[in-house]
């Protein structure tokens, strides 16, 4: 079920009485947090700050009435499982999972401690929840994507580079949801008569080899699907795309901020900020089974004009007008 079908549902879920929000217990509450990126990563800090800010606005102050225990760098399942076991052993009242890999590990580690997630694309298909409306277990949260975004990425590349004839899709095999984007990408590629290839990459060497090989043919473009490897290797990916003058598009803002060409997708920090509401409601006695999974309400188009000039692209005025942020 798509985001637009849930407007009334989400509005109802958000209508939590203000009086109840104001009533905080005097005792210390405990929340675990499992993040996929390292603590030193700027994106990690932006996301955790958004979560803490959301909790603070609801009256939850870390060190006063809330103790937050965080584990960082759970970008692969082995590390995530180890950290998940540590958090479960602490027995917090709620655990927050940032992205799919940490959520997978927590799902395997406990079926009783409430879990709130953000940045997971399809929690029903992966088996985290029974349904969007009624999750039914100990997990609920904020889904990151509608898979139709794949078509938007193809259309964006074609607008930016009308002479483009082929697209390479790079994906992180550890992200099991990547294949769900492909039908929309394939359909959009066919509509533009573009050749399409997809490549699973697990390391910097595989990324470099894949992009170097693809760039041997002219008029190509890159789509990078979300996943931990893409996030950790973004500097290499961006430098290779610029070196080969390949138009490139991403799902999240921090790619063009770091030199990528363009991104279109949800505002991740907004998802983390909104997740604080569900943590608050669970701490006050609600069950995750009864809290519907919600979808993004903020999408943003970000264009890096400096990168566009570096790879020989002139961005059309309609795209610049449409953009939420233009980096110069």
281 and 197 within one domain: no
Mean pLDDT of the chain: 89
Number of domains in the chain: 2
* pLDDT > 70 in the chain, percent: 91
Compute the distance between CA of residue 219 and CA of residue 162 in angstroms, rounded to an integer. 9
**CATH number of domain containing 40:** 3.40.50.2300
* Angle value at C-alpha 66, between 65 and 68, nearest 5 degrees: 160
64 and 138 within one domain: yes
Burial of 176 (0-12, 13-18, 19+ CB in 10 A): middle
Tokens of 229: 């490897």
174 and 38 within one domain: no
Region for 91 from its dihedrals, namely left if φ exceeds 0, alpha if ψ lies in -120 to 50, beta otherwise: left
305 and 275 within one domain: no
Compute the distance between CA of residue 35 and CA of residue 85 in angstroms, rounded to an integer. 14
Residues ≥6 apart with Cβ < 8 Å to 238: 248, 255, 258, 259, 260
> What are the backbone angles phi and psi of residue 94, rounded to the nearest 5°?
-145, 145
239 and 166 within one domain: yes
pLDDT category of residue 144 using cuts at 50, 70 and 90 = confident
Domain that holds residue 79: 3-145+267-297
Strands of 124-227, DSSP E: 139-143, 166-171, 195-200, 220-224
Q: What is the pLDDT of residue 26?
A: 64
CA proximity to 169, closest of 156, 161, 181, 187: 181
pLDDT tens for residues 243-267?
999 999 999 898 999 999 999 999 9
pLDDT tens for residues 82-109?
999 999 999 999 999 998 889 999 999 9
């Amino acid at each position: 079920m798509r985001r637009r079908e849930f407007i009334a549902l989400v509005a109802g879920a958000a209508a939590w009485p203000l009086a109840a929000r104001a009533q905080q217990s005097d005792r210390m509450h405990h929340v675990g947090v499992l993040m996929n990126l390292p603590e030193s990563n700027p994106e990690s800090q932006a996301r955790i700050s958004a979560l803490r800010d959301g909790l603070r606005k609801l009256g939850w102050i870390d060190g006063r009435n809330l103790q937050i225990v965080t584990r960082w760098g759970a970008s692969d399942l082995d590390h995530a499982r180890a950290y998940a076991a540590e958090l479960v052993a602490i027995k917090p009242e709620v655990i927050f999972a940032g992205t799919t890999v940490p959520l997978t590990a927590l799902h395997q580690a406990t079926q009783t401690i409430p879990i709130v997630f953000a940045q997971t694309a399809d929690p029903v298909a992966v088996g985290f929840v029974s349904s969007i409306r009624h999750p039914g277990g100990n997990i609920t949260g904020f889904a990151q994507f509608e898979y139709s975004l794949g078509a938007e990425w193809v259309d964006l590349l074609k607008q930016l580079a009308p002479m483009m004839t082929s697209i390479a899709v790079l994906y992180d095999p550890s992200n099991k949801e990547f294949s769900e984007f492909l039908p929309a990408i394939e359909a959009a590629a066919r509509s533009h008569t573009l050749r399409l290839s997809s490549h699973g990459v697990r390391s910097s060497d595989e990324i470099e080899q894949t992009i170097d090989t693809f760039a041997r043919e002219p008029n190509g473009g890159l789509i990078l699907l979300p996943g931990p490897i893409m996030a950790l290797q973004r500097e290499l990916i961006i430098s290779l795309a610029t070196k080969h003058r390949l138009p490139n598009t991403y799902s999240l803002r921090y790619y063009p901020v770091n030199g990528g060409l363009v991104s279109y997708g949800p505002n991740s920090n907004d998802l983390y900020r909104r997740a604080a509401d569900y943590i608050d409601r669970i701490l006050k006695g609600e069950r995750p089974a009864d809290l519907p999974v919600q979808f993004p309400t903020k999408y943003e188009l970000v264009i890096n004009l400096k990168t566009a000039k570096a790879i020989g692209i002139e961005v059309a005025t309609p795209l610049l007008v449409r953009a939420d942020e233009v980096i110069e």
